[in-house]
């Protein structure tokens, strides 16, 4: 008996000893889990490391012990992508962001209408591209991803020559994207004359892209076609360093390094990458360096400061246009005159911005944003040499006020841009070779107001308006051939908007929107062939009427987003060519844009830890000139040029629990008209 008692005591002492060793060997990591899009805490998320498990509370906070041998914790929550985070060496609380799965429209948050809402409750035709979608389509360019958005058609001649159209708007632009606004974290990327350049940005610089299909003037000012909003987001780990190397056809390769960190009071993202390509055609080389920095600082419990910096250095050679015979027989050829001089553009761009968010009360937030951008370009062309310098300043102040069932966003946004350009003969920047010298001052300001009113739990309306003032000042500094200086001030332009959303089930909703849009002509389009300002030129304006449905079916496995719309555009702006590099703008008539857009996605149940899904989206459109007179030619009734009437995208994707994935995609584009006849 005594031996048994002694054995029992020794066993108890051994167990206690092992428990003490385990307790002293364990450490604890704490933190908070938030929605990466809305910033809201996520409750009941599963946290695990080794054999230990824990759950977040209602505030999204957690605490979990871990062994010294453990290096990562895994975080999982319903309808969110699972993520793993390194355990910090120091005792620092973790701030972890989870991102909704693509089919989870109940959790996905969008802010395209300046007021955050769930995608399901949106009152607009909005498409969302996640970082995973962008990465699997192309880690080099945004064009393959944007071309999978219904209603969007992006032409790509080369890395530095692209044109984006939304619902047919922008198809008349000569060499780039216009009539579509773009923002990077509320910082305008669109120039003072309405030109938008996205191809210079690295896709790794943003974690989400929101595309508003249809006029956004009631929300974002001049944007007849729509708007593209790019969102950046620092990493969720204490420190993460990743490298990327991509190799593709035609000598294309990309190298990049990404640094991200997340601490108690600040988070940071730094990206540097290099992209080079020989191109498919002659005189088609492209070389770009990019540095992107995004930083957020928490200043107490009420304030947040965001600082953004971007630098781009690129040199791109220009193969230019070729005739039909050359295109059919030797499409890789460059235009002979551009190839002979090795035509190219040499560009440097720098942009800095700050945004300050202040919560004045629990119900009111004041957001102040300031931006400065500078760019220089030297473009060597067969007929002359062009130098450009651009300096712009912009600022915005908005007030977000929340009520019982309302949220109101109102404010003022202003933009000023100084654009200087000269042309020289003999391919040399020398005063003796000067052909022209010009300066443009472009200024616009918007007064905007948007209200989101939840009349009932399932019924929401969004009335809003934008009041725009635009002013151009053109100075002809080369007076040897006469002084063509002039001023153009457009009348105040009011753009109202009204959207309605009715969520008739927990996973389905219908919406309808009526919105007015406009696009001001560029200053070049306001000039007549003799260089004088055309006093008759008017902004391009139009109305969009749209009804849509989005929701889930088939036991939540099938997602459908459907939109039917008609846009009527008046004072159509047409660039009439008057020389090799000379265009004038004219208001030529009216167009009608009828269309159906759909986005269908089927997410099947996993089979042996393998997820698979199928998607199909597309646009069925009829865009035509209702009235179009160009000089003595009547093109009324003809198809709108530069956009197809049918675009279909289909794809099949599989993903394994080990991180492997495969994508098979197909795209069909119908014939499109190349000239007005």
- Helix H, strand E, coil C: the string for 567-595 is EEEECCEEEEEEECCEEEEEECEEEEEEE
What value, to the nearest 5°, has the Cα angle with vertex 26 and ends 44 and 16? Answer: 115
Choose from 41-50, 204-213, 252-261, 480-489 the range with maximum mean pLDDT: 252-261
Radius of gyration of the chain (CA): 28
The matching CATH number, chosen from 3.40.50.720, 2.60.40.1120, 3.30.70.120, 3.20.20.70, for 25-98 is 2.60.40.1120
State the pTM of this model.
0.80
pLDDT tops 60 at residue 1? no
Residue 262 — very low, low, confident or very high, per pLDDT cuts 50/70/90?
confident
| Average pLDDT value for residue range 209-223 | 82
Best CA proximity match to 165, nearest among 521, 639, 615, 644: 644
Q: What pLDDT shows up at residue 512? A: 96
- Range 227-669 has CATH code 3.40.50.10470: no
Quick one: DSSP state of residue 205?
G
Side-chain half-sphere CA neighbours of 104 within 13 A: 15
| Average pLDDT value for residue range 86-93 | 78
Residue 447 — very low, low, confident or very high, per pLDDT cuts 50/70/90?
very high
pLDDT tops 90 at residue 544? yes
What value, to the nearest 5°, has the Cα angle with vertex 86 and ends 82 and 87? Answer: 120
From residue 109, alpha-carbon distances to 36, 436, 503, 637 in Å are 9, 50, 16, 41
φ, ψ of residue 285 to 5 degrees: the values are -70, 150
The CATH 2.60.40.1120 portion of the chain extends over 25-98
Share of the chain above pLDDT 90, in %: 34
Residue 530 — very low, low, confident or very high, per pLDDT cuts 50/70/90?
low
What value, to the nearest 5°, has the Cα angle with vertex 581 and ends 576 and 584? Answer: 30
Cα separation, 541 vs 244, in Å, equals 44
pLDDT digits (tens, 9 = 90+) for 283-325: 999 999 999 998 888 888 889 899 999 999 999 999 988 888 9
3-state secondary structure 35-58: ECCCCCECCCCEEEECCEEEECCC
Q: What pLDDT shows up at residue 5? A: 53
Do 158 and 341 touch, CB atoms closer than 8 A? no
Count of Cβ atoms closer than 10 Å to residue 256 Cβ:
19
| Average pLDDT value for residue range 105-117 | 69
Non-local (6+) Cβ contacts of 401 within 8 A are 363, 364, 407, 408, 409
pLDDT tops 70 at residue 70? yes
What are the respective helix, strand and coil percentages of the chain, to the nearest 5?
10, 60, 30
| Class of the domain covering 109-226 | mainly beta
Beta strands in 159-233 (DSSP E): 161-166, 177-178, 180-184, 187-188, 195-196, 208-213, 226-231
Cα dihedral value 674, 666, 146, 254, nearest 10:
-110
Q: Any idea which of 94-98, 134-138, 419-423 has the lowest mean pLDDT?
A: 134-138
Structure-token pair, residue 443? 């200024």
DSSP 3-state assignment of 431?
helix
Residue with tokens 């996605």: 601
pLDDT tops 60 at residue 357? yes
DSSP 286-319: EEEEEEEEEEEEEETTTEEEEEEEEEEEEEEE--
| Largest CA-CA distance found in the chain, in angstroms, rounded | 120
Cα separation, 446 vs 411, in Å, equals 8
Cα separation, 240 vs 231, in Å, equals 20
Best CA proximity match to 240, nearest among 97, 44, 60, 140: 97
Q: Any idea which of 426-440, 508-522, 642-656 has the lowest mean pLDDT?
A: 426-440
Cα separation, 623 vs 169, in Å, equals 10
Q: What pLDDT shows up at residue 102? A: 58
DSSP 3-state assignment of 628?
strand
Strand partners, 322: none
Structure-token pair, residue 345? 């553009």
Helical H segments across 520-581, by residue range: 523-526
Do 470 and 520 touch, CB atoms closer than 8 A? yes
φ, ψ of residue 341 to 5 degrees: the values are -105, 0
Cα separation, 518 vs 514, in Å, equals 14
Q: What pLDDT shows up at residue 533? A: 67
| 535 or 283: which leads in pLDDT | 283
pLDDT digits (tens, 9 = 90+) for 606-655: 777 677 888 999 999 999 988 887 777 788 888 888 889 999 999 998 87
Cα separation, 501 vs 519, in Å, equals 27
Beta strands in 50-194 (DSSP E): 52-55, 61-66, 72-76, 83-86, 94-98, 109-110, 117-118, 126-130, 152-158, 161-166, 177-178, 180-184, 187-188
The mean pLDDT value of the chain amounts to 83
pLDDT tops 60 at residue 123? yes
Q: What pLDDT shows up at residue 349? A: 93
Residue 138 — very low, low, confident or very high, per pLDDT cuts 50/70/90?
confident
pLDDT digits (tens, 9 = 90+) for 558-616: 889 999 999 999 888 776 665 555 566 777 788 999 999 999 988 877 777 677 888 99
The CATH 2.170.130.10 portion of the chain extends over 109-226
């Amino acid at each position: 008996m005594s031996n048994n008692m002694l054995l029992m005591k020794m066993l108890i002492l051994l167990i206690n000893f092992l428990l003490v060793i385990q307790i002293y060997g364990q450490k604890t990591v704490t933190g908070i889990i938030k929605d990466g899009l809305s910033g809201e805490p996520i409750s009941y998320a599963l946290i695990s490391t080794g054999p230990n498990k824990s759950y977040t509370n209602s505030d999204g906070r957690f605490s979990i012990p871990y062994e010294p041998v453990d290096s990562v914790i895994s975080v999982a929550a319903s309808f969110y992508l699972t993520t793993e985070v390194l355990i910090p060496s120091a005792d620092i609380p973790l701030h972890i962001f989870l991102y909704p799965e693509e089919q989870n429209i109940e959790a996905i948050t969008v802010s395209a209408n300046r007021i955050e809402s769930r995608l399901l409750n949106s009152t607009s035709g909005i498409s969302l591209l996640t970082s995973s979608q962008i990465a699997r389509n192309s880690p080099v360019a945004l064009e393959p991803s944007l071309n999978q958005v219904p209603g969007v058609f992006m032409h790509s001649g080369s890395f530095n020559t692209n044109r984006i159209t939304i619902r047919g708007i922008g198809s008349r632009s000569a060499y780039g994207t216009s009539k579509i606004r773009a923002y990077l974290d509320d910082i305008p990327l669109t120039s003072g004359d309405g030109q938008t350049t996205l191809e210079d940005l690295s896709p790794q610089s943003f974690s989400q892209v929101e595309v508003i299909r249809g006029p956004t003037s009631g929300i974002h000012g001049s944007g007849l076609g729509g708007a593209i909003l790019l969102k950046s987001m620092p990493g969720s780990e204490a420190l993460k360093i990743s490298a990327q190397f991509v190799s593709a056809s035609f000598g294309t390769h990309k190298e990049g390094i990404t640094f991200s960190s997340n601490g108690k009071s600040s988070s940071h993202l730094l990206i540097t990458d290099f992209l080079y390509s020989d191109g498919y055609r002659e005189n088609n080389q492209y070389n770009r360096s990019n540095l992107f920095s995004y930083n957020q600082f928490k200043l107490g419990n009420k304030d947040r400061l965001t600082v953004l910096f971007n630098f781009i250095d690129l040199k791109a050679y220009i193969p230019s246009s070729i005739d039909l015979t050359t295109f059919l027989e030797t499409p890789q050829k460059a235009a002979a005159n551009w190839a002979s001089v090795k035509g190219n553009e040499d560009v440097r761009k720098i942009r800095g911005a700050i945004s300050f968010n202040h919560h004045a009360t629990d119900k009111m937030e004041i957001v102040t944003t300031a931006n400065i951008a500078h760019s220089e370009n030297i473009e060597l062309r067969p007929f002359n040499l062009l130098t450009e310098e651009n300096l712009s300043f912009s600022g915005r102040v908005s007030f977000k006020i929340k009520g019982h069932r309302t949220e109101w966003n109102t404010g003022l946004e202003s933009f000023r841009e100084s654009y200087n350009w000269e042309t020289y003969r003999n391919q040399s920047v020398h005063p003796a070779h000067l052909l022209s010298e010009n300066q443009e001052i472009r200024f616009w300001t918007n007064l905007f107001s948007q209200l989101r009113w939840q009349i009932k739990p399932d019924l929401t309306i969004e009335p809003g308006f934008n009041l725009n003032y635009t002013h151009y000042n053109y100075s002809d500094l080369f007076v040897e051939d006469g002084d063509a200086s002039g001023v153009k001030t457009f009348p105040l332009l009011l753009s109202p908007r009204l959207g309605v959303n009715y969520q008739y089930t927990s996973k389905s909703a219908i919406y309808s929107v009526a919105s007015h849009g406009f696009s001001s002509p560029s200053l070049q389009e306001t000039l007549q062939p003799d260089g004088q300002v055309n006093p008759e030129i008017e902004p391009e304006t139009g109305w969009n009427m749209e009804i849509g449905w989005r929701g889930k079916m088939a036991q939540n496995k099938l997602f459908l987003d459907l939109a039917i719309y008609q846009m009527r555009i008046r004072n159509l702006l047409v660039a009439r060519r008057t020389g090799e590099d000379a265009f004038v703008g004219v208001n030529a008539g009216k167009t009608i844009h009828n269309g159906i857009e759909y986005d269908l996605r089927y997410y099947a149940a996993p089979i042996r830890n393998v997820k698979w899904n199928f998607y199909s989206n597309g646009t069925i459109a009829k865009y035509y000139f209702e009235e179009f007179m160009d000089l003595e030619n009547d093109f009324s009734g003809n198809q709108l040029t530069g956009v197809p009437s049918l675009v279909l995208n289909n794809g099949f994707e599989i993903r394994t629990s080990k991180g492997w994935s495969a994508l098979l995609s197909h795209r069909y584009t119908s014939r499109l008209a190349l000239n007005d006849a």
